[in-house]
Amino acid sequence: MYLLLLVGVVLGAYIILTQTLFKRSKCKGNAAMAGKTVIITGGNTGIGKATALHLARKGARVILACRNRDKAEAAIRDIQQDTGSTDVLYMQLDLASLKSVRCFAKTFLKTESRLDLLINNAGLVADGRTEDGFGIGFGVNHLGHFLLTCLLLDRLKEAEEARVVSLSSMAYRWGHIDFNALEANGHLGTGRYSWQFFHAYCNSKLCNMLFTHELAKRLKGTNVTCYSVHPGVVRTELSRNVSLWQKVFIEPIAQLLFLDPEAGAQTTLHCCLQEGIEHLSGRYFSCCAVQEVSARGRDDAAARKLWEVSEKLCGLSKGGITTKDF
């Protein structure tokens, strides 16, 4: 009797979780991609690779903007074998280095004539500092993408219709931005323990939300729209820096409940390919649908402040982007 009750509870919990926190969705967008150019940061693994594969299959020119050449070239071989596309290439980008971001943008603008989609996909949960001394979570998840987007905006505006899709997370709900600490210390949380840098991760995901919120305002009246995405709880390399005992605990749960990268890419693909969502620029999507956002994720004053602080930390000119920013 008790065993049956326990099985019923476990099964019920599993069904509830798979229909809520671990719910699957399917992108139905089918916008034409032939002849269009896409940049995907972190496109060599996980959600980024699944996204790249789908867009390459639709005929897009796909640029994997990654730190690790070997992983990127292996991903390109996989994508080419799967899709038959010969228009997938690697460009070196280390989001933990503002110099690398500038070099990437400079190279891209010299060698590529168009940009239709910028997918700010890369992210991590880790402790440490970037090359420029920023907290690694803040520096990679937000600041590197902020600078990259700013440097490529003019090229995006040249397209007939362009989009910026940034991967955030439902974890933004637990985030907080201490601007005094950020300007003084260059990070949004640090520490030896995983829970401390997971909190920093939540803070960085809130930055992604506020960045998209403010970017949409600044792009109003242009042909560029932007969206933030919660991909779901996905089995990726995001948590590769957590401790061994946590991996031992998390892995069985991940295998049972977490989405695979293809399922995790669906909402990103929705924001890339779904026609008629331009009026939703700046909004947050999950399960291939627009979602309501808590007050902290749409705080106008905080979004504007984050933009200004980010410009300062990146060394962008106050009056706009100039050639010296490279």
Report the Cα–Cα distance between both ends of the chain, in Å, rounded: 70
| 103-107, 199-203, 266-270, range with the lowest pLDDT | 199-203
Confirm if 88 and 64 have CB atoms less than 8 A apart. Answer: yes
Q: Whole-number mean pLDDT of the chain? A: 87
- Three-state DSSP class for residue 281: coil
pLDDT of amino acid 213: 98
Instruction: Catalytic residue, from 172, 201, 227, 284: name it.
Output: 201
pLDDT of amino acid 318: 56
Instruction: Identify the band that residue 243 occupies on the pLDDT scale cut at 50, 70 and 90.
Output: low
Strands (E), 161-283: 162-167, 224-230
Q: What Å distances lie between residue 316 and 170, 220, 308, CA to CA?
A: 29, 21, 10
Check pLDDT > 70 for residue 249: no
Q: 232-241 pLDDT, tens per residue?
A: 765 555 445 5
- Which has more pLDDT, 53 or 198? 53
Check pLDDT > 70 for residue 12: no
Position 11, amino acid: L
Told to judge if 172 belongs to the known catalytic residues of this protein, a careful annotator would answer no
Position 35, amino acid: G
Q: What value does the mean pLDDT take over residues 56-75?
A: 97
For residue 204, what are its two tokens?
């960085």
- Would you list the domain boundaries of the chain? 30-319
pLDDT of amino acid 91: 98
Q: What are phi and psi of 173, to 5 degrees?
A: -60, -25
Q: What value does the mean pLDDT take over residues 224-248?
A: 67
Q: 25-48 pLDDT, tens per residue?
A: 899 999 999 999 999 999 999 999
CATH architecture of 30-319: 3-Layer(aba) Sandwich (3.40)
For residue 259, what are its two tokens?
């989405």
Q: What Å distances lie between residue 158 and 7, 99, 119, CA to CA?
A: 58, 25, 17
Q: Are strands 117-120 and 88-92 parallel, antiparallel or unpaired?
A: unpaired
